[in-house]
Every structure is written in C-alpha cells, then in structure tokens.
Amino acid sequence: MKAKMKLFSYIFLVIVISVDNSILAQSDSIFMFQSNGNPIVSHRFTPDPAALVVGDTLWLFTGHDVGEKNKKMILKDWRVFSTTDLKNWTEYPIPLKVSDFTWDETGRAYAAQVINRNGKYYWYISTDGSGIGVAVSDRPEGPYKDAIGKPLLTKDDCFASKHRWACIDPSVFVDDNGVAWLFWGNGQCYYAKLKDNMIEIDGEIKQVLFDGFEFEEASWVHKYNNKYYLSYASGLPEKIAYAMADNIEGPWEYKGILNEIAGNSSTNHQSIVEFKGQWYFFYHNGSHQRGGSPHTRSVCVDSLHYNLDGTMKRVIMTTEGVAPVNGNNPVINGYYADPEILYAHKTNKYYIYPTSDGHKNWDGDYFKVFSSENLKDWKDEGVILDLKKDVLWAQKKAWAPCIIEKKGEKEEYNYYYYYTGDGKIGVATAKEPTGPFTDLGKPLIDWKPEGINRGAEIDPDVFHDPISGKKYLYWGNGYCAVVELNEDMVSYKKETLRVITPPYFREGLYVFYRNGLYYFLWSENDTRSEDYQVRYGTSTSPIGPINTPKHNIILHKRPDKGIYATGHNSVLQIQGKDEWYIVYHRFTRPEGVKMGRMAGYYREICIDKMEFDKDGRILPVEPTL
C-alpha cells in the first residue's frame, strides 16, 4: 500500500511540473487563469502592454521577455490575453512571432499595438532596428500574418534621428471622423496618417514638438471629452508623462508626470483605455518575484481618473491592482460621495447629485450631476453649481446635496437644490434637473442646537410628505434637526424647528415613506472609519419620534470582499412598483481601501437592491462589487 502511494505521488508531481513548464515555455493551447493583483500575469514575463476594448471584452497584447534578470533582453514573440472582468483571464496560443516577418534582421520583438477596423485586426509591431511592420487577422486572438511583406516604416523615415532603433513603439489611434493616425519613435516622436486600408502611410511624416517635451519612447494617444491625450515614456529610467491638445496634430501642451519611475524597472510602457465605464492605465514594471529591470518585466493595471479641467490624476502603482468589474458597482467613474438620487418626471430620467470627491480635507468647490435612463449607463452632465463663481457666501467644502422636484399649478416643474457650503446650508433653484441653478444668495440654514460644540450644519435632506403634502428639511452632524419649509421652498417656518436625533447618529439623514411608515436612514461613525455604516429607524410621523429596531444596521462593510466604509445614502423607489434601491458611497477599491483614513475623501458611488420583510423591516443590504 505504501509503495502504491509513493508511486501515485511521484506521478502527480511530474504532471504538475510538466504542465507548469509547458505554460512557461510555450502557449500552444488556451490557458485560463485568475489575476491576484499586480502583476496581472504571473506565469510569464509580459512587457509593453497594449489594451483594446471590443464590446464587453478587453484584449491585452503584450511582448514576451524570456531573458534572465539583469542579463540579456530576449523577445521572440508577442502574446494575447482577454478578460471580461479584469479578474478572470484567457491566454491564447502564440499569435505572432518576430520570425513571421522575414524582412527583420534583429530577432527582437519590440512594443506593438492592435487596432480593429474594416472587420479585421491590424497588429503594428516593431523590432530592434529593422522598422515597423503590420500583421493582420480576422480575429483578435489571431493567428496573424505579415500584411505587406516589408516594413511599413524604417529608420530612414525618422528624419530627425540617427540611431538604429529610432523606428519603434508604434501606436495607432482612429479618430471620431474615421481618420487613423500612427505615432512612433525613440528619442523623437513622429506621426502620420494611415490610408483607409491601414497598411499604407497617407501623406507626409511629421514630428511632435512642444515645450517641456522630453520624449524617450512609448507614445500612446487617446481621447476623452473631446480632448486629445498624448502619453509617453520620459527620461531614463522612464516615467510616464503626458500632454493635451484640442487637435490631433496639436499644438500640444505639456501637463506633467502621470506615472512615476517604478524603482525596479528602468523602462515603462503604458496604454490607456475605457472599459465598462471605467478608465484604466496598463503598464509594466519589474514587480514579479523573479523579475527585474530591464529584461524580465510584467504587465500591471491601475485605475485612471480625471480632474474637472480634464487633466489626469497621477496614477499610483499598487500591488492590489484593480477591482473586478463583474458587476455594475461603482456606477460612476471617479471619486464621488454622498449621492442623492432623483427620478425626474419632467424628463423620465434618473439623476445622481453627488459630492465631488478626491479633494484633500474635503475642500471641493463644485457640484456635478449624472443622468441615466436605465440606472446602469450614466452620463456626466457637467457642473451645475460652482461655489467660487455662483455662490457669494461660500467658496469651498461643497458637500452632500439633496434635491426635490416640485410641480407647479401650471404643470411646470421647478427644482430646489439644497447643499452644504463652508459648513452652512444653501439652496439654489432651476427649471431643469441639470440646471442652470441660481443660488439664493445667502445661507438658508445657519443654526444648530445649544450645547452642541462639535456638531455642524451639514448634510441636508429634503422630503415631501405624501400624506400631508408638507415639505421638510433635515440636517446635522452630531445632532439631527428638522424644519417645515414654506411653499416657496427657500424659507422655513421657524416655529416648527426641532431636534430629532436618533441613537448612534453621526450625519447623513435620509427620509422616505412606505406603507404607512416613515423610514429614517443615517450614517454612524466617521466617514474615514472602516466601521462607517448605515442604520435606520421608523416613525408614524415625518418629525419623529424615531423608533429603532433591535437589528437596525442595514449597510455595513464586507472585509471578505474588500468593501469598507459604506455610508451616506439616498433611496429610490421605481415608479409604480414596490421595488427599492439604496444608493451609497464606499472607499474606492482597491486604492481607497489601502489609504485608510485618507480614503475619507477617496470614495465611489454604488447602487444595490433594498428589500423589506413582511413586517416592513428593512433587510440587511449586502454591498456588491
């Protein structure tokens, strides 16, 4: 019996080693794996990533380092991977080798990019000194073949360069008007149009030049909100810098560093894409435990975010990487918090009014709004209230807005937008849910109860009582106050002012009505705390008293899923249905989670289903990815 067990163990070990060596040495069959943060691929070295999104699939094309750490750069082929969630990946058989280009004399498979057009996939490759070529396939995973049998470009086309490897790192961008542009170069950056057939240069070759342009290689062009972005490797060791322009041919304006030196790789090479509503920054470094500069590099990915003016926030390299995107959360790309959701009868659309987050010490000074027809696809409608331009009495700390739609006697709709500014509560009005909003010109609320030292006049919530028709405004941090609004919605009845603070109350009250009960939801603990969570209570009156169930925490962290600091919410009922959703914020994943207390101003917005039991109690909401 012991002899049989030893024999079985030996056979099993041989099988494992054989499979592992097969994966490391070649790729003649499909191989499926999961990424566990950065680097994405752990079974081989993968430099020079180029991402392509086709439908609901992200394709990743890379080089393949097979040299030894700090010894020799050897790249014989290119590799291709795909994913639909950034967690589960598929690697395909080797799609293209440098030996497939008979005109190459170097044997080194340098950086490359794939673009889809005319029902085909074009792979623009470069080698160590023989130039740039193009291969073609009917499928993104290949196989590919040389499309023209000769270089598309050589060092002779690089008129401002003298070194042998000047003609490398091709990157193709197809503009909204259908014109395709090719960028490339080492030491100098060149660009030219491509003909519609994608295998010929159309017109003259030009050079990119602008102030502050310290170009090494790795050009990449993308577009966001009608602005063009040129990112590239700068200096040696390389960091990623970028410039912006209103036209693909410039003039370009240098905007600074996007991604710092890795510290364990002398080179870097990036690609930037939008995938399922989020922007991602792919790059390589030497973070693999067997890797290092410059010959054993690995592909990584982190989130990319934009500032209000269109500039990009600096991308910080992480070991955690990005969260899987197998769900719809977060629903809005970027740093936002304190979401107020509204269904507008005037437009038959949903709107989210958030705090614009990502500002140190919560010093944001503007509000935006996002619209949707299906609660899944959200459109950025832009800034609706800028404190520095539109408000006389407040300049910063633009927090936690709420809004109400009021139908007038002549069937017209008006929108009343309540918000926090400089620790007081203001109100602005508009005829449309997206504005423009006009501020009252002074604070509406500048009051807190006597004896409250640390509390603040923040986090307003407005509620229309469907039973009495009255409108109420709630607010407070450390206490909760309520007052009845007058019909003009921009003043209130002072005699109705009262404090209704429930147990464990910190801030962020939200009120809604269902089946004879008024529901009060609020945030417990500080927004920077991992235990920031949502509690609730009920009442038979919109002004309390509030009764708290024994188990009244309905939204809390899920450390098993890496979800922390779920708090400050609003609630949506689907029109005409007993179907409910809670809209809330959490620490950004994974960046915000590892920032700890700093994550208090690096938050993102999520939506999950909210359900009730037969007695009207709210069931605990499991925050989803």
Catalytic amino acids?
Answer: 338, 507
Q: Which amino acid is at 313?
A: K
Q: Are 506 and 521 in contact (CB under 8 A)?
A: no
Task: Kindly state the tokens that stand for 248.
Answer: 């693909």
Query: In sequence order, which residues have a C-beta less than 8 Å from that of residue 96 and are 6 or more positions away?
Result: 77, 78, 123, 125, 135, 142, 143, 144
Q: Is the dihedral of CA 5, 9, 10, 12 positive or negative?
A: positive
- The residue among 419, 364, 373 whose CA lies nearest residue 395 is 364
Could you tell me which of 81, 76, 41, 91 has the C-alpha nearest to residue 299? 41
372 burial (CB, 10 Å; 0-12 / 13-18 / 19+) is middle
CA quadruple 500, 506, 507, 509: dihedral sign:
negative
Buried-exposed string 107-133: b where 16+ CB fall within 10 A, e elsewhere: ebbbbbbbbbeeeebbbbbbbbbbbbb
601 in helix, strand or coil? helix
Kindly state the DSSP code that residue 72 receives in the 8-state scheme. -
C-alpha to C-alpha distance for 261 and 316, rounded to whole angstroms: 10
Put residue 256 in one of left, alpha, beta given phi > 0 → left and psi -120 to 50 → alpha: left
Q: Are 267 and 284 in contact (CB under 8 A)?
A: yes
Greatest Cα pair distance, the chain, in angstroms, is 92
CA-closest candidate to residue 476, choices 496, 435, 446: 446
